[in-house]
Structure 1
Amino acid sequence: MAEAGKEGGSFAPLRLPVFAVLWCATVLGNIGSFMRDVASGWLVTDLSPSPTAVALIQTAATLPVFLLAIPAGVLSDILDRRRFLIAVQLLLAGVSAALLLLSRSGALTVELLIVLTFVGGVGAALMGPTWQSIVPELVPRAQLKNAVALNSLGVNIARAVGPALGGLLLASFGAAVTYGADVLSYVFVIAALLWWRRPAPAADEGLSENFLGAFRAGLRYARASRELHVVLVRAAVFFLFASAAWALLPLVARQMLQGTAGFYGVLMGAVGAGAIVGALVMPRLRARLDADGLVLLASVLTAVVLGALVLAPPQWLAVLLLLILGVGWITALTTLNGVAQAVLPNWVRGRGLAVYLTVFNGAMAAGSLGWGLVAQQIGVRGALAAAALGLLVVALLFHRVRLPAGDADLQASRHWPEPLLAEPVAHDRGPVMIQIEYRIRAEDRPAFLAAVRRLAPERRRDGAYAWGLHEHTADPQRIVEWFMVESWAEHLRQHHRVSQADADLQGEVVRYHIGPGQPEVHHFLAL
């Protein structure tokens, strides 16, 4: 990937042919997906009047991402991403083709619709982390933020166009034609991926990860990253309550607002249009509010919309309310996703984002099912009111759990020296113990211990599964930091993962060392 000195404007990535073609194909593919979702969301109300059945469609779409996002993130790192994406597109096209045939023949049931929606969710789960991971391959580093923003804009263009077009096709020609249009959209996406000649990946010097090793490394990082934990908690509480809007909207449109399939498509399109407006005003909002303020604003807007829908407003007012919902939704989505990306280094970005997607879709799936069950018991109006009140309460409570700034330098520092070896070590040898011996004055000991203990999460994030400190019984100035890594290859990967921010922290620790030269580092292999 070439470097560039200047960003060149928000739309500069579209001047790059590969990015432009894949971006346009993605917009078309997402339009088709939203058309399919509108058809399925409306069709289930024909097949069953049960709020639980309606909510199960949303659950079936999001639950696979909750279950499979992390394995998908691992696969995106160890497989050829272009071929993997083509295979996933073929799977999704097959799902829509099956829906087309079943709806045309009149054989579609609620059960079949839920199953096929679930399979489509599997495809979305496999595609999400992989599609995000290819963006740095398509644009220079200086244009990466603009490319990510354009991807978000493309999704919301599709969200604005797809539901409205899907509702129009559904009302005019029926579900089969709507599903057929979705199948056609995958043809464009697959053609674009076939046209893209992805460069061969750089040599990995024998350090490529297998599935299980990469899976464990991703989980270790997620478990040790406190900053990521904050983002995950804030995302979970927001989407758990905000999911009520998506789970209950078909019932709101049909039962409370007496709308048709076309009107439901207009409501969905209004959310997308609002999201586009939100994306355009986000720079001004960011200039006035930090990330916590933006999430609070999004929560208030979403809660106001949910509360207003309880009153069954006129259809024109409902469209305006859904525009506001779109602004709130994109504000929360881009803010939380942006913070998640900012706290993740490149080597684990796909897997870290997969963990974020797992929490996001888990909250959406659980929330959708939960609000469907609540609506079954107390009615749609009661469920909307409960969701609005709950969202306001948790927004105020968790506003005190501050999101990380995400301004640390996470580029690889490569400052660790190569280990001294008497003879070559097989990459699968392990576990490995690394010992770092410091000499610390008694008066510096409290400050040193405070600093070195801050290294523990960093060691674990980069690959260690155990960490500790020991002092020498005969010489208390000698303190040994040790950590365990599962294999020699994993330790070599650790050398490539240490970031500039970690190097700064290690420098703070080393400044207390009084011995000759740098602290001594020893490596021990299990026998």
Structure 2
Amino acid sequence: MAPKNADSAWSPLRQPVFRALWLAQFASNIGSWMQTVGAQWLLVAHGAALLSFVQVAAGLPVLVLALPAGVLADLVDRRRLLLAVQGGMAAVAVVLAVLAFAGGLGPWTLLGLTLLLGCGTALNGPAWQALQPTLVPREQLRPASALGAVNQNVARAIGPALGGLLVAAAGVGWTFALNAVSFAGILVVLARWRPAETAPRSEQEREQALAALRAGTRYVRHSPRVRRILLRSALFVPGAAALWALIPLTAHQTLGMGSAGYGVLLGAVGIGAIAGAWVLPKTAALIGNDRTLALAGAMFAAALLAVDYVAVAAVAFAALLVAGIAWIWALSTLNAALQLGLPAWVRARAVAFYLLVFQGGMAVGAFVWGVIAQWAGLSTALAAAAALLVVGVAVSRWLPLRDRQVDPTPSDTWPEPRLVMEPAPQDGPVMVVVEYLVLEPNVDAFVKAMARVESSRRRTGATSWGLYRDAARSDRFLETFTVRSWAEHLAQHHERYTGIDRELLAEAKALTEREPVATHAFMQRS
């Protein structure tokens, strides 16, 4: 039984390192949102298409850098990687501030530097999210994911309001300057933190970059759970992107607000996010994660329509409160569902695929809605985005998240291979043949169980797989799969073989007459 209040909304903040990083990230997020207000307000007079490019420039680098960043975060020290990336982003923010104060920050210079910050965000994302499960106990991972979303959305409640007031009182340059200062907290916490030492990988198990990219891609491709989460994200994020891309235009054109009013509207989303995080654990426990995610999509669509068709500031504020609740419900549910099922060896790479879908959806969605608003009108763009969200809700019953508990921790129950030769790490490909004896009444069930074992073999390293029945002996089955190298097969045995894989193989083995017998063969080269 989980400890009392283990999954309460604020329990992860009891962990000292998580709390310090959360607070430092909060300050940084406030700075980022203040800068976003300044950047968008500089471009608001240039039309919807150019205005939407702020979101595009911030999110587009993920399409190019997310997967390499995931590989990098799984291969190097994540703390040092984060220090380097955060330091680089702080330097870019300083340049933005200097140019703004000097009067040399034109639209395309602003977008170019925003693009550089987007590159930093893309490199930062996989390492930052993959670090989270090491900071809190497993039972606190779901509220930790919610707190991560709360962090950004509370910052969204404060940052835009402060940014709008600061732009009105002192000018855009100060939003960039304070953003540069806001990186200091994260840099200090990361520099002082000394995580527990982990055992270094052996030479045989250490991955090369290209092989690591292939392994991560193979894992996602053959993990039904991860694929389903990515599809649900792709059905929510592009429609939701309309809010962030077009709310400045809504404030300026539809509601006739200035920069301070725009900041207050964005602040409503953050206030809604706080309320959403507070009730999320009870909501998810009451109706389940699937219904929570579907309800979030419906609520967000309704909020977009309310902002679209009722040009009253009070109604827009209330609608954005609802959007904030829906936003944090969707993000927390998707992120926690992903993190809870990922093994450590591929966590950052799988998170990179999630960020690719999420940030890429934000960037592409922002561009599409900006173009539609430019040529067909703001109302048409918001209505189309709401329709896309409704489609996501409608198909959700065919893409369940499946809340069943899974065990992604490494398992050492796979017997070590017995060899009379000592292969080198690079030797391969390796063919593994496993013999099973299955009585006729169990054959159909065994074949179905082995189909799930195939997914396990492939996502942990197999490049090909087959199940064969002996023509001379009907109870004898041979499973064959190949792995690129001996080093990768050893990784299958150790860090990649998890409780999930053990359970799948155990289901198949329970239908056999004796313990399976495995043999290993190497390609003979002339």
Q: Which TM-score applies when normalising by structure 2? A: 0.94
CA displacement at 1:12 relative to structure 2? 4.6
The answer for the alignment partner of 1:343 in structure 2 is: 341
Describe how 1:102-141 pairs up with structure 2 within 5 A. 102-141=99-138
**Distance in 2 separating the partners of 1:467 and 1:448:** 16
Q: Which amino acid aligns with 1:197?
A: R
The answer for the alignment partner of 1:213 in structure 2 is: 211
**Distance in 2 separating the partners of 1:130 and 1:271:** 27
> How many aligned residue pairs are there?
520
Aligned 8 A contact 2:130 2:348 in 1: yes
CA displacement at 1:512 relative to structure 2? 3.1
Higher mean Cα deviation, 272-281 or 206-215?
206-215
**Distance in 1 separating the partners of 2:53 and 2:501:** 45
**Distance in 1 separating the partners of 2:14 and 2:446:** 52
Cα 1:466/1:37, change in 2 over 3 Å: same
CA displacement at 1:200 relative to structure 2? 3.2
**Distance in 2 separating the partners of 1:462 and 1:335:** 26
Q: Which amino acid aligns with 2:354?
A: Y
Higher mean Cα deviation, 472-481 or 370-379?
472-481
Cα 1:440/1:141, change in 2 over 3 Å: closer
CA displacement at 1:406 relative to structure 2? 4.2
The answer for the alignment partner of 2:423 in structure 1 is: 425
The alignment-based identity, stated in percent, is 43
Q: 2:168 aligns with which of 168, 171, 183?
A: 171
Aligned 8 A contact 2:229 2:401 in 1: yes
CA displacement at 1:296 relative to structure 2? 1.8
The answer for the alignment partner of 1:504 in structure 2 is: 503
1:412-461 deviation line (CA, Å, top 9, x unaligned): 22111111121322111111111101123344332322221221111111
Q: Which amino acid aligns with 1:307?
A: L
Whether 1:301 aligns to 2:310 is: no
1:138-160 deviation line (CA, Å, top 9, x unaligned): 34555444444433332222222
Q: Which amino acid aligns with 1:211?
A: A
Q: Which amino acid aligns with 1:306?
A: L
Q: Which amino acid aligns with 1:19?
A: F
Q: Which amino acid aligns with 2:132?
A: V
The answer for the alignment partner of 1:43 in structure 2 is: 42
Q: 1:250 aligns with which of 245, 248, 251?
A: 248
CA displacement at 1:196 relative to structure 2? 1.5
CA displacement at 1:524 relative to structure 2? 0.9
CA displacement at 1:295 relative to structure 2? 1.7
Q: Which amino acid aligns with 2:434?
A: I
Aligned 8 A contact 1:36 1:96 in 2: no
1:380-425 deviation line (CA, Å, top 9, x unaligned): 1121122223322332233332222241223222111111121322
Unaligned 5+ residue runs, structure 2?
none
1:313-333 deviation line (CA, Å, top 9, x unaligned): 222332222111111111111
Describe how 1:399-438 pairs up with structure 2 within 5 A. 399-438=397-436
Q: 2:327 aligns with which of 301, 313, 329?
A: 329
Aligned 8 A contact 1:256 1:312 in 2: no
Q: Which amino acid aligns with 1:27?
A: F
Describe how 1:4-153 pairs up with structure 2 within 5 A. 10-46=9-45, 48=46, 50-141=47-138, 143-153=140-150
The answer for the alignment partner of 1:523 in structure 2 is: 520
Which SS does the other structure have where 1:108 is aligned? coil
Q: Which amino acid aligns with 2:183?
A: Y
Higher mean Cα deviation, 146-155 or 476-485?
146-155
**Distance in 2 separating the partners of 1:149 and 1:390:** 24
CA displacement at 1:7 relative to structure 2? 6.6
Which SS does the other structure have where 1:399 is aligned? helix
Q: Which amino acid aligns with 1:18?
A: V
CA displacement at 1:6 relative to structure 2? 7.1
The answer for the alignment partner of 1:182 in structure 2 is: 179
The answer for the alignment partner of 1:157 in structure 2 is: 154
Cα 1:512/1:460, change in 2 over 3 Å: same
Q: 1:195 aligns with which of 192, 195, 198?
A: 192
Which SS does the other structure have where 1:468 is aligned? strand
Cα 1:287/1:43, change in 2 over 3 Å: same
**Distance in 1 separating the partners of 2:116 and 2:497:** 39
Cα 1:327/1:149, change in 2 over 3 Å: closer
The answer for the alignment partner of 1:390 in structure 2 is: 388
CA displacement at 1:43 relative to structure 2? 1.3
Cα 1:310/1:129, change in 2 over 3 Å: same
1:282-341 deviation line (CA, Å, top 9, x unaligned): 122113212221122111211111111123522233222211111111111111222222
Aligned 8 A contact 1:7 1:143 in 2: no
Q: Which amino acid aligns with 1:275?
A: A
Q: Which TM-score applies when normalising by structure 1? A: 0.94
1:237-291 deviation line (CA, Å, top 9, x unaligned): 1112121111111111111111111111111121111111110111221132122
**Distance in 1 separating the partners of 2:201 and 2:403:** 32
CA displacement at 1:92 relative to structure 2? 1.1
Cα 1:417/1:390, change in 2 over 3 Å: closer
Cα 1:326/1:134, change in 2 over 3 Å: same
Which SS does the other structure have where 1:290 is aligned? helix
Which SS does the other structure have where 2:407 is aligned? coil
Unaligned 5+ residue runs, structure 1?
none
CA displacement at 1:15 relative to structure 2? 4.0
Aligned 8 A contact 1:434 1:522 in 2: yes
Q: Which amino acid aligns with 2:249?
A: L
Aligned 8 A contact 1:239 1:360 in 2: yes
